[in-house]
Chain A
Amino acid sequence: MKIALAEPNERLGSFPSEATDSEPVFEARGLTVSYGDAVAVRDVNLDIGERRITALIGPSGCGKSTLIRCFNRMNDLIPSARVEGSITYRNEDLYSRSADPVEVRRLIGMVFQQPNPFPKSIYDNVAFGLKINRMTDDLDDRIEDALRNAALWDEVKGKLKSPATSLSGGQQQRLCIARALATEPDVILMDEPCSALDPIATTRIEDLMHSLKERYTIVIVTHNMQQAARVSDMTAFMSVQGSEDEGERPAGILIEYDATTTIFTTPSDPRTEDYITGRFG
């Protein structure tokens, strides 16, 4: 079953079968995010299935990054950002008063577009999250595990004390993934993790995502449709609705959400088809 945004009553509780056969980790309902007066994302309803890779695709400015940043409350850091509607994480309201954004971010890790290692040693980069979360028992083992899980161990095991900035871009990004894995999160959010990397480094990260899927729920924002098709189980296509010419404020909306194979072979919305066939965007 498909979500058609034009039918608001139907979309609640009716999601593609592949998302519902596992317990949803996130459930976004009527999610609207605005920065000051500008609406970035309007009325999004989306379920994220457990231990799957969910890709958010769409043209620039459609609010993919804004949406993914709602899942770990990174938007809280932008003073003008306002989030309306609801997101639950395993049936708990992510934005309730009692939810601690710091705890949320520990459970829901994030990898950014530009690799952003701390200007410290490789070891200290991974150790930082462990130290602030008081997971310092077996620190060395935990660091080794995290680096192994991020497929970086063999490349750095002899030089853990050298600066992280001496690594290549792809290695830096895997270090950032290792850093996020070390604190034993439940979900990993990736905001265009490969857009600053070359094709070989990209392939390695994609392979890594496949192996991480067995243990983690992954949400990835990508500009690259081939990447979404290669790595993801579910794909959400977002686009911009409304333009200044029509006297309407443009805002990002969710057009279609379905199994990746369906989105890329038989999308139900013509706008999705236009985008994936390259006629738009």
Chain B
Amino acid sequence: MAVASARLQNARRTRQAWSEKAATATLLLATGVGLVALVVLMATIVRDGVGVIDMAFIRNFASRIPERAGIWPPLVGTVYLMVLVTLISFPLGVGAAIYLEEFAPRNRLTRIVEMNIANLAAVPSIIYGLLGLAIFFRGMGFGRSILTGALTLSLLVLPVIIIAAREALRAVPGSIRTGAMALGATRWEAVYRQVLPVAMPGIMTGTILGLSRAIGETAPLLVAGAAAFVAFTPDNLLDAYSALPVQIFDWVRRPQPEFHALAAGAILVLLVVLLTMNAIAIVVRNRYGRKP
């Protein structure tokens, strides 16, 4: 009897060990595929693109001659876009999140709004481009301007920011709200002075995610009127503009291999801009979070 049960246990343990190994191997393989793909991608881009990057490439304007072509207008355009998108979408997104999480009555209307925001986050970005084209380009008459582009991208990142900010607000313990209100704080004072500072690191993480999505978007900008060939950097909100992804797209579809190298160079610059932005945001976030 005892012997039989020991045998049974052994068999089971062997089977468990085997499935354990199989699972680990599968998961490792999955991680490996992703990692290898990323490394190959990066290596190719660095190999093709690093040679074209110099000061002239950064500072030059677009040109039909590959040796003279540079990315100054789209680089400036992308930086302006990011600043504008942050200015527009951060206050709107955080405001909407605070309303929905802290003030909105729990009724059917609120639930419908919440559901729609969740769905908006999954809408393909080209649809936002069409929306931008219809509302900002035509409806409001902003035309092929950087304002149209910024507003369009803001619509795109708003749902991401709202959802992330709500998660961050929800993670703040209720005892902080009740503690503040028990001292005679209004709901707004409790939220603004106690809840929001605690939630801020989480909100900023969500904003970084949203902006990172926006910085690489090409489709909505193409639809909403970004140009691939601008001979100047935008001076005001209604000026025409270009953006790095649009420039990359334009170069990639040309037949000459020289332009493909330029595209790889521009991708590297875009990556650097993106990583810089994330690094700044992470530093800001950590500093905010550390404050007692």
Contacts and interface: CB of A to CB of B under 8 A. Distances in A.
Interface in B181-232: 181-186, 189, 193-194, 197-198
Contacts of A106: 183-184
Interface string B152-178: 000000000000000000000101111
Given A79-B106, A128-B193, A128-B194, A110 B182 contact: yes
A112 B197 CA distance: 22
Contact of B178 (A112, A128, A133, A164): A112
A102 B185 contact: yes
Given A106-B184, A129-B184, A116 B292 contact: no
Interface bin, chain B: 20 to 34
B292 A120 contact: yes
Contacts of B135: none
Given A128-B194, A163-B292, A118 B176 contact: yes
B32 interface: no
A180 B182 contact: yes
A121 interface: yes
Interface bin, chain A: 20 to 34
Given A120-B292, A163-B292, A179 B183 contact: yes
Task: Please report whether the interface of chain B is mostly helix, strand, loop or mixed according to DSSP.
Answer: helix
B179 A102 contact: no
Interface in B85-133: 105-106
Contacts of B189: 132
Contacts of B198: 119
A102 B182 CA distance: 8
Interface of B: 105-106, 173, 175-186, 189, 193-194, 197-198, 292
30 contacts: A72-B182, A74-B182, A77-B178, A79-B106, A103-B184, A105-B182, A105-B183, A105-B184, A106-B183, A106-B184, A110-B182, A112-B175, A112-B179, A112-B182, A116-B173, A116-B175, A118-B176, A119-B197, A120-B197, A121-B292, A128-B180, A128-B185, A129-B183, A129-B185, A132-B186, A133-B183, A133-B184, A162-B292, A165-B292, A183-B183
Given A79-B105, A105-B184, 4 more contacts: A77-B178, A106-B183, A116-B175, A124-B292
